[in-house]
Amino acid sequence: MAANGTKTRKRIWVDGCFDMVHFGHANLIRQAKELGDYLIVGVHSDEEITKHKGPPVFNQAERYEMVRAIKWVDEVVEGAPYSTTIETLDEYNCDFGVHGDDISVLADGSDAYKIIKDAGRYREVQRTQGVSTTDVVGRMLLLTKTHHKREDPTAHSPWTGVSQFLATTQKIIQFSSGKQPNPGDKIVYVAGAFDCFHLGHLRFLEKASTFGDYVIVGLHTDCEINRYCGSNYPIMNLHERVLSVLACKYVHEVVIGAPYVVSSEMMDHFKVDMVVHGNSQIFADEKGNDPYEEPKKRGMFVLVNSSSNLTTPDIVERIIEHRQRYIKRNEKKEAKEMANYELLRKGNSVNGHSVE
């Protein structure tokens, strides 16, 4: 409480690379926001990430913009230091810093959060099992029919060598806004894959949101996406894509496994006022028909330019082009974590962590 009797707003600090921003990052941010009233997210520069972990896939400008669009974020600090200090917390008037329960180490192997831990200004939340940037990059390097599953029998780090993500209704509820459209709200509907949610998706949704008050995103099934994209897409399965889209501040509702054809029944059911599509190609349905025939007939269809031509295949191309560099990065990160994990298994405490 403040001296005048009013409640003091608790300010929280979270920092990270947030490379290939995924629902695991969003869940860290969501949990951190629950610990206070105002959340500041520090995002590391490309130079800092390359020094401590290896080259990022998304550049810093892309990562700054992506993090700003996560609905629990109040403020973003660009170029935040990799090691969190008391000076950083004090500069932004934050009560404490928050990180997941995985190990975060600097280039020299020391704990990135040791300083604020020792000062009692550190809080820990549960890491999201089943996803990591290392894993997503690995899927793109693999890009097979089974890339959603980790079938390698060799030992993996418990933090980045992850198993398949298991969706639960509780997780969807946590990510959902729970908001219903108000009477008179204009309903906007968009549909697609939204695979490996990226800047192109974000800017499209931001543009689509200007056409109404309430945005519904229809997410196609994995089988449907593979039909029109081929090449063993999608990278992320349906449940993973649901959470990634729900974390975006421009989205109010998601239709899980939406029909590919936007039918009269669908438009009437959701009381859709406008259907919006972006830069991506519109593929015909299985019968060779236009999936947007009905909204076009009603005069409720619009094409928009999202101002970003970035696509999921473009991201895959970035990784494939520098394949050896990213393989080396993944191996280096996992080896460092496995070394710490082995110490934990032997009963030693590493950076405040232990294995029960």
Give the number of domains in the chain.
2
Half-sphere exposure of 36 (CA within 13 A, CB side): 21
Structure tokens at 93: 């008037």
The pLDDT score that the predictor gives to residue 338 is 59
At 235-252, the pLDDT tens digits run: 999 999 999 999 999 999
Query: Cis (ω within 30 of 0) for the bond into 153?
Result: no
10-residue stretch averages of pLDDT, the chain, 356 residues long: 63 95 93 97 95 89 98 98 94 96 74 91 87 73 54 46 65 90 97 96 97 98 94 90 96 97 98 96 95 98 92 88 69 61 56 46
Instruction: For residues 15 and 105, state if they share a domain.
Output: yes
Taking the CB of residue 244, how many other CB atoms lie within 10 A of it?
27
Instruction: For residues 160 and 184, state if they share a domain.
Output: no
At 46-103, the pLDDT tens digits run: 999 988 888 899 999 999 999 999 999 999 999 999 989 999 999 999 999 999 887 7
At 284-298, the pLDDT tens digits run: 999 999 999 999 999
Q: Which residues of 200-225 are buried (b: 16+ CB within 10 A; e: fewer)?
A: bbbbbbbbbbebbebbbbbbbbbebb
Contact between 47 and 160 under an 8 Å Cβ cutoff? The reply is no
What phi, psi does 25 have (nearest 5°)?
A: -60, -45
- Whole-number Å distance between alpha carbons of 117 and 132: 24
- Whole-number Å distance between alpha carbons of 36 and 11: 6
Asked if residue 309 is part of any domain, the answer here is: no
Q: What is the SS3 string spanning 94-146? A: CCEEEEECCCCECCCCCECCHHHHHCCCEEEECCCCCCCHHHHHHHHHHCCCC
Asked if residue 227 is part of any domain, the answer here is: yes
**Closest C-alpha to 191, from 308, 318, 283:** 283
Instruction: For residues 105 and 240, state if they share a domain.
Output: no
- Strand, coil or helix: 253: strand
Terminal-to-terminal C-alpha distance of the chain? 37
The pLDDT score that the predictor gives to residue 320 is 80
Instruction: For residues 30 and 158, state if they share a domain.
Output: yes
CA angle 342, 32, 156 (to 5 degrees): 25
The pLDDT score that the predictor gives to residue 55 is 85
Instruction: For residues 185 and 244, state if they share a domain.
Output: yes
**CA dihedral angle for residue 341, residue 160, residue 162, residue 68, rounded to 10 degrees:** 140
Structure tokens at 289: 């028909």
The pLDDT score that the predictor gives to residue 153 is 42
* pTM score of the predicted model: 0.83
Residues 6+ apart with CB under 8 A from 94: 11, 12, 13, 40, 88
Mode of pairing for the β-strands spanning 214-219 and 187-192: parallel
Instruction: For residues 142 and 260, state if they share a domain.
Output: no
Instruction: For residues 43 and 72, state if they share a domain.
Output: yes
- Whole-number Å distance between alpha carbons of 200 and 273: 23
Instruction: For residues 267 and 182, state if they share a domain.
Output: yes
Asked if residue 122 is part of any domain, the answer here is: yes
Asked if residue 353 is part of any domain, the answer here is: no
The pLDDT score that the predictor gives to residue 85 is 94
Asked if residue 265 is part of any domain, the answer here is: yes
For the sheet containing 187-192, what is the strand order?
Answer: 253-256, 214-219, 187-192, 274-277, 301-303
Instruction: For residues 200 and 157, state if they share a domain.
Output: no
The pLDDT score that the predictor gives to residue 47 is 95
Could you tell me the residue range of the domain that residue 203 belongs to? 169-303
The pLDDT score that the predictor gives to residue 266 is 97
In this structure, what CATH number is given to the domain that contains residue 178? 3.40.50.620
Asked if residue 222 is part of any domain, the answer here is: yes
Instruction: For residues 30 and 105, state if they share a domain.
Output: yes
Asked if residue 3 is part of any domain, the answer here is: no
Instruction: For residues 38 and 154, state if they share a domain.
Output: yes
- Whole-number Å distance between alpha carbons of 139 and 160: 12
Instruction: For residues 75 and 157, state if they share a domain.
Output: yes
In eight-state DSSP terms, residue 248 is B
Asked if residue 112 is part of any domain, the answer here is: yes
